[in-house]
Homo-oligomer: A and B are copies of this chain.
Amino acid sequence: MKLRQILTISVKLKVSFLNKRCISTINNHLNREMSLPRNYFENTGLLKEGHYNLQVGAPGSKDLAKIATYFEAATESLSKSDKRFGETLQYGTMPGDKFVCDEVAKFLSRQYGQTVQSGDLMITPGASMGLLILIRRFTNPDDNMFVENPTYPVFAKYVTADKFIKTVPIPMEKDGMDLKVLQEKLEALPKKEVSKRWPFRALMYVIPTHHNPTGVNYSPEKCRKIVELARKYNLLVICDDVYNALNYVSSPSNPTKFEFSPQRLFAYDKKDDADYQGNVVSNGTLSKIVAPGLRVGWYEAPKRVIDSLQDTYDAVSGGGYNPYVSNLTAEVLKSGKIDEHVQHLRVAHKERMAAVISTVETKLGKYGVTISHPEGGYFLWIKLPENISSAEVLSDSSKNENVTFVKGEIASVVGDFSNYIRLSIAYYECAEMVKGVEGLCRSIERTINLKNRL
């Protein structure tokens, strides 16, 4: 019913600065979080000029055009060393070609301001497949996974629909998940023998840095405690570390000199601790800072995890994950161009976030609408008054303003947050973004006023 409503409304969209590939990309991301039928927009040609799709969690076209020039240069440079180019086309080594692991480690060390060791890395085909590979290697569908509430919407949607693991939602606080609730749930966890092949009793899925959708960063105290609990209960903690390079905090005196993001959870699981076992994986990706079409990511993971993951049918028979494109990517990382690019993203995203926050607060503060103030990442999280549902707003905004976004409840495995809205600031340039958000604000205002009148 709601879906049909959206579809009907969509037919009236008037939208065409977006080229064909943009349309299909956006359509893809519509699929991602709104379950529109595949190629709906493409087939009907409905995504035309003026549609602001504020749900697209992907880099904008200008950014990718720039990245393309780096890949062209890398291909040329690789082709100058005849031998190596051919070798990148061969089945790869595990856990990833040494050159690739080394360049990724150096890049991450620069971006994190903390040492990432090449020997801790395994190359993956991106964070999405990376997460599934871990779940499938270490659990069966009857096992439990602690997940944040709210969490990454696409994950919440599919883990709920496909039941590839049982989820136990843990509420988010402003410095990470509620550890009191977690401890209660851990106490109730069914017994399960662990072994070398099956070393974990349960999994935990977290986004500790610039959380999607709330923007939260985990506090050092929570990170420490989670590692302690993971060791005690034999948990594997999987961190989607996909926004860690995108930190927007800088001093007012030097606004383009950015601080580093808080230390990642992986670093709290210290190898020289007496009770170290290796319980945390940093599941990273270049999708958000280089380009999603590459499908290149990495695990920064304990030896026991990497040893297990590379001894699988797909890793062995397939010869590692994406050797050609990961070698190309490593050439690009080596050139230093991505460091410049990330700096550019930080400047641009920071400006967009500030503009959107100010627009929303100026126009809607008086209604009690609030918006997150994240220190980095892609997302803003709007809280509407309790009696207003984002579904009602979406119905108005897509009809009257050509604006779409992710409804809060999609980010929850139990359907909470129906009065929340997630916006992505990654895709549109600042002026465009603000226009879309102004439309959204009008919709929210209308929805609130209508409700108050009833």
Cβ distance A386 to chain B, nearest Cβ, rounded Å: 30
Docked CA distance A162–B79 (Å): 40
> Are A87 and B64 closer than 8 Å at their CB atoms?
yes
Stretch at the interface among A8-16, A122-130, A355-363, A433-441: A122-130
Q: A21-B84, A128-B317 are in contact. Are A67 and B89 (CB under 8 A)?
A: yes
Cβ distance A159 to chain B, nearest Cβ, rounded Å: 7
Stretch at the interface among A27-35, A105-113, A399-407: A27-35
A277 within 8 A of B: no
Q: Using a Cβ–Cβ cut-off of 8 Å, how many residues does chain A contribute to the interface with B?
A: 81
Number of copies: 2
A146 within 8 A of B: no
Within 8 A of B (CB), among A301-328: 307, 310, 312-314, 316-325, 327
> Are B93 and A65 closer than 8 Å at their CB atoms?
no
> Are B29 and A91 closer than 8 Å at their CB atoms?
yes
A39 within 8 A of B: yes
> Are A318 and B90 closer than 8 Å at their CB atoms?
no
Cβ distance A293 to chain B, nearest Cβ, rounded Å: 4
Interface 0/1 of A85-120, CB less than 8 Å to B? 111111111100110000000000000000000000
Cβ distance A94 to chain B, nearest Cβ, rounded Å: 6
Q: Which B residues touch A316, using CB under 8 A?
A: 28, 31-32, 154, 158
> Are B19 and A92 closer than 8 Å at their CB atoms?
no
A294 within 8 A of B: yes
> Are A93 and B27 closer than 8 Å at their CB atoms?
yes
Selected contact of A93 from candidates B25, B72, B154, B323, CB within 8 Å? B25
Docked CA distance A83–B65 (Å): 7
Q: Which B residues touch A19, using CB under 8 A?
A: 83, 87
Q: A25-B90, A91-B293, A313-B159 are in contact. Are A72 and B76 (CB under 8 A)?
A: yes
Sample of 20 further A-B pairs with CB below 8 A, known A28-B316, A38-B307, A158-B316: A19-B83, A19-B87, A21-B83, A25-B91, A25-B319, A31-B94, A58-B91, A61-B87, A61-B90, A64-B86, A64-B90, A68-B85, A72-B76, A75-B75, A89-B292, A129-B314, A154-B317, A293-B324, A295-B322, A295-B324
